[in-house]
Amino acid sequence: MQPLARNAPVLTAGSALFLDFDGCLVDIAPRPDAVVIPPGLPGRLARLHDRLGGAVALISGRDVADLRAFLPDFPGAVAGSHGAELSLDSQRIQKTHGIDLDVAELHGSAARAVAAHPAILVERKPHGVALHYRADPSLRQVVEDVMQQLADTHPGMVLQPAKMAVELRPAGTGKDGALDRLMAMVPFSGRVPVYAGDDLTDEAAMARAQALGGQGIKIGEGDTVAQMRLADPAALARWLDDALERLG
């Protein structure tokens, strides 16, 4: 594919749009269950889905069920758990990796390892686990040490740093892989990918979108490979609304 012409609109009727969730569509909150869905978000996503022929997907570190619970009317595809699961509609969730994981054992081990630190939040995911230290940032080292031990004792699982959290996800998964998987499918294939995200976990997917002739959009501060930056989720919402006006 050809690279974008200078100053060409980034989002066109031929785009495929990939959106991260936390820190991108919603502001970061003290706890994962405390995020607030902006009132205009469900309608904005529905209009984008309509104007882009269905080529709008969420790609998140959260698990699919969690995302679909926050956005029950979202009509598009959802890649969750850092690409370890994929849901093309609200009925089914596919596993995309071959790691043999006893997830209940992993959750139990993680919870026991941090039981002495109630400020650490254990997020149980169907394909991994996250330990959050946002409630007490001084516990970062404890979380990093515990997660390293869990990575060492759970073959096939790899560390995934996140904002005030450390996660374990199946090796070989990732948001770039989720983007590739979706770009190979109708209605995404043949379109130009645009990926917006805020975190380190999004960088590989932004790089992939750009390598395919599309665009990465970094939300917020920090080093990035993205060729475009927007300040925060509110700025992304305005940018998407402007794009919708142009798309008609």
- What is the set of active-site residues? 20
Determine, following the binding rule CB under 6 A, whether residue 62 of this chain makes contact with ligand L263DTV3.
yes
- For ligand L263DTV3, give the closer residue by CB, 199 or 203: 199
Tell which one of 4, 12, 32, 54 touches ligand L263DTV3 (CB under 6 A): 32
Structure tokens at 236: 């992304």
Q: Cα–Cα distances in Å, from 132 out to 31, 138, 166, 194, 236?
A: 8, 12, 7, 29, 26
- For ligand L263DTV3, give the closer residue by CB, 31 or 238: 31
Determine, following the binding rule CB under 6 A, whether residue 23 of this chain makes contact with ligand L263DTV3.
yes
Determine, following the binding rule CB under 6 A, whether residue 21 of this chain makes contact with ligand L263DTV3.
yes
In whole angstroms, give the CA distance from residue 82 to residue 178: 8
- E-strand ranges in the chain read 15-19, 56-59, 77-80, 85-87, 94-95, 121-125, 128-132, 157-162, 165-170, 192-197, 215-219, 228-230
Determine, following the binding rule CB under 6 A, whether residue 164 of this chain makes contact with ligand L263DTV3.
yes
Structure tokens at 119: 């400020």
Antiparallel, parallel or unpaired: β 15-19 and 192-197: parallel
- For ligand L263DTV3, give the closer residue by CB, 1 or 37: 37
188 to 207: interface string for ligand L263DTV3, x by CB under 6 A: -----------x-x------
Supply the minimum distance, in Å, between the C-beta of residue 139 and ligand L263DTV3: 12
- For ligand L263DTV3, give the closer residue by CB, 55 or 129: 129
Cβ neighbours of 157 (radius 10 Å): 22
- For ligand L263DTV3, give the closer residue by CB, 85 or 199: 199
- Give the closest residue to 89 by CA, choosing from 49, 37, 126: 49
In whole angstroms, give the CA distance from residue 70 to residue 57: 15
Determine, following the binding rule CB under 6 A, whether residue 130 of this chain makes contact with ligand L263DTV3.
yes
Determine, following the binding rule CB under 6 A, whether residue 224 of this chain makes contact with ligand L263DTV3.
no
Amino acid found at 64? V
Determine, following the binding rule CB under 6 A, whether residue 85 of this chain makes contact with ligand L263DTV3.
no
In whole angstroms, give the CA distance from residue 79 to residue 88: 8
Determine, following the binding rule CB under 6 A, whether residue 163 of this chain makes contact with ligand L263DTV3.
yes
Residues near ligand L263DTV3, by CB under 6 A: 20-23, 28-32, 35, 60-62, 123, 130, 132, 134, 162-165, 167, 199, 201
